[in-house]
Amino acid sequence: MPIKIPRDLPAYSQLESENIFVMDEKKALSQEIRPLQILILNLMPLKELTELDILRSLANTPIQIDVMFLQMETHVSKHTSASHLEKFYVTFSEIKDRKFDGMIITGAPLEKIDFEDVTYWDELTKVMSWSQEHVTSNLYICWAAQAGMYYHYGVRKKFLKEKLSGVYLHHVIHRKDPLVRGFDDYFYAPHSRYSEASREDILSNNTFKILADSKEAGIYIATAENGKNVFVMGHPEYDRYTLDNEYKRDIHKGLSPNIPVHYYPENDPENRPRMQWRSHANALYTNWLNYYVYQVTPYIL
């Protein structure tokens, strides 16, 4: 089944060209199905690219999904046009009285900043608090996972000595958990961050169930409260060239970044990056939508 998005959303034509099943509102209305209502709080600067990455992953589920994009009212985007945001995004004040089956909060390039110093932190905490009563299951990605663990459970953020960037090997810990159903014992996933949630705080809190870990990148997937909150520390939604674009952007900024590890063949940035995480990324999003959202959400929200 497809994701339902506006036909004039820029991601629509790209997804269609990739043979990914998408549906516009007109066709969706002809089907007697209640689609899942998924809210995506997009905190990434290049919002259109993030839309494409996440929609590509969500489209592999057999469940029809109605996607709505949310933006922060207290933040003015510098990298996405106001016309795009006005046309395709809603604000929290517009949807705070609604309920949703699931919500995804994306990462943001804010790892070097203390949470309370983020300009929209107060608004973000309102959304996270609201989600506990208005959303069946919440999926936090990368920086949002760190922010969610900190806000809900007091897990500290630890700054890394250098940026963690590349595609890392992980191993599954609780194989019988539905979120990692169909995963291989070991799998790859991309990371791109300057900080991490405190491993000690996570391990000492019985609220968390750790599902996947990495010797190099640390804890990757953890859940809390029977899947009410799901935390993914990396970027499973990344496209083949996302890390490549970030690496070359940092070079142009004069930051002298390290080459993303386990990413370029022969560790040469001139080579085409390997795509070695897509199947597990698709399984992760599909499992979340099926077992933590669709199977437990009420028919009438």
Active-site residues, by number, are: 142, 235, 237
Rounded Cα gap, residues 112 and 273, in angstroms: 27
Q: Which helix (H) or strand (E) holds 52?
A: helix 47-58
Neighbouring residues of 94: CB distance < 8 A, sequence distance ≥ 6 = none
- b/e string for 25-52 if b means 16 or more Cβ within 10 A? eeebeeeeeebbbbbbbbbbebbbbbbb
Distance CA 74, CA 67 (A): 22
**Coarse DSSP helix, strand, coil percentages of the chain, rounded to the nearest 5 percent:** 35, 25, 40
- Beta pairing, strands 100-105 & 36-41: parallel
Strand 157-172 versus strand 186-197 pairing type:
antiparallel
Residues 214, 169 contacting (CB under 8 angstroms): yes
* H or E, element range at 141: strand 135-141
Residues 6+ positions from 260 with CB-CB distance below 8 Å? 165, 166, 167, 192, 243, 244, 246, 247
